[in-house]
Amino acid sequence: MSAPAPADAALSLRAVGKNYGRIRALDGLDLVVPRGSVFGLVGPNGAGKTTTFSIVCGWLRANRGEVDVLGEGAFDPARHRGRVTALPQDSALGRDMTVVEQLTHLGRLQGLGARETREEVERILALVDLTDRARDRVRTLSHGMLRRVGIGQAFLGDPELVLLDEPTNGLDPRQAHTIREFIAAQRGTRTIVVSSHNLHEIETVCDHVALIDRGRVVMAGPVSAVTGRDDEVRITLAEGPVPLTETRAALAGDTAEWDEADRVLTLRFQEKPGRAAEDVTGAALRALLAGGARVSSVARGQSLERTYLELPALPPEQKP
């Protein structure tokens, strides 16, 4: 018998497999989403993100493995209705309904009472900035507005787990920014899983991330750990001297790796009492400047985009 899902997990998938005929969409996917986190799911086209969402929401059944939603087993409408909501990649809305009718209908389907639904719909319309289009028919909305109705319906009521498949896809920059801020502000109040190809978005909005490829998780953890922000500082130098020996001598055991092509010096350290990242960075910068180096930039860790691009490709024998 396998170990139970961690008690603090909102979502746990173990060794989940899903085939569409001969296509292996999920190939032993392991994922633990901590309660209260904003969790990013990142991966190339066809990696299995939408399939994962569909299985969590009960729209599809896995062929193998275990899925535990809110610590209560696989999705079951009787247990999870209204507590787990989703913005699908292509949300199907009733095109002849008005926006307010659509949201009201969905609120009632979730089990909200008439008055509660009215209040919720007003709150959601303001959130997604569609109050002035509330009486318009869904078919008359632009693509970005439709997306915003979809995001709004995912937050109707008080869901504990919200799955958002590419939420800001097609939104203008201002709306995308508003939605990102809203999602980030939900941290700690509910669990949100966001899939996106926008790695900057995942990095700014999420506290945890899983990188998936060909139906498997290839890297996962807190964003700060995955991007090395916890234990890495990158110093970029302009043309000029690189006093490596002196800098390494100043680091008292921590390492400094020089990349000549990118002219980046990567400091790797372990924070200890009395020696924080700032102390290590300061020691390295003093040695570099004393040796005549010209510092262009200093950054904690590397961007999620770079982490993603540097991931080794899966070996061919693991190809589905």
Cβ atoms 69, 56 nearer than 8 A: yes
Q: How many residues bind ligand ATP (CB under 6 A)?
A: 11
Nearer to ligand ATP, 197 or 286 (CB): 197
Amino acid present at 225: A
Amino acid present at 190: R
Nearer to ligand ATP, 95 or 197 (CB): 197
- Residue choice 1, 3, 22, 45 for contact with ligand ATP (CB under 6 A): 45
Residue 51 within binding range of ligand ATP, rule CB under 6 A: yes
Number of residues that make up the chain: 320
Cα distances (Å, whole numbers) of residue 145 to 77, 85, 124, 131, 174: 29, 19, 13, 11, 13
d(CA 216, CA 311): 13
Residue 40 within binding range of ligand ATP, rule CB under 6 A: no
Which positions from 136 through 195 interact with ligand ATP, judged by CB under 6 A? none
d(CA 302, CA 226): 9
- Neighbour-count burial for 70-80, b at 16+ CB within 10 Å, e otherwise: beeeebeeeeb
Nearer to ligand ATP, 48 or 107 (CB): 48
Nearer to ligand ATP, 22 or 135 (CB): 22
Half-sphere exposure (CA, 13 Å, Cβ side) for 51? 26
Nearer to ligand ATP, 48 or 150 (CB): 48
- Residue choice 5, 11, 43, 151 for contact with ligand ATP (CB under 6 A): 43
d(CA 73, CA 297): 48
State residue 116 phi and psi, 5-degree precision: -60, -40
**Minimum distance from CB of 19 to ligand ATP (Å)?**
9
Residue 46 within binding range of ligand ATP, rule CB under 6 A: yes
Structure tokens that stand for 249 in this block: 């001598």
**Minimum distance from CB of 308 to ligand ATP (Å)?**
13
- Residue choice 12, 50, 175, 307 for contact with ligand ATP (CB under 6 A): 50
Torsion of CA 181, 188, 193, 233, to 10 degrees: 70
- Residue choice 13, 47, 124, 164 for contact with ligand ATP (CB under 6 A): 47
State residue 47 phi and psi, 5-degree precision: -70, -25
SS3 234: strand
Residue 86 within binding range of ligand ATP, rule CB under 6 A: no
**Minimum distance from CB of 74 to ligand ATP (Å)?**
18
Nearer to ligand ATP, 20 or 313 (CB): 20
**Minimum distance from CB of 171 to ligand ATP (Å)?**
17
**Minimum distance from CB of 24 to ligand ATP (Å)?**
8
How many CB atoms neighbour CB 31 within 10 A?
20
**Minimum distance from CB of 312 to ligand ATP (Å)?**
19
Which positions from 10 through 29 interact with ligand ATP, judged by CB under 6 A? 20, 23, 25
**Minimum distance from CB of 43 to ligand ATP (Å)?**
5
**Minimum distance from CB of 128 to ligand ATP (Å)?**
22
- Per-residue 3-state assignment (H helix, E strand, C coil) for 84-120: EEEECCCCCCCCCCEHHHHHHHHHHHCCCCHHHHHHH
Residue ranges that bind ligand ATP, judged by CB under 6 A = 20, 23, 25, 43, 45-51
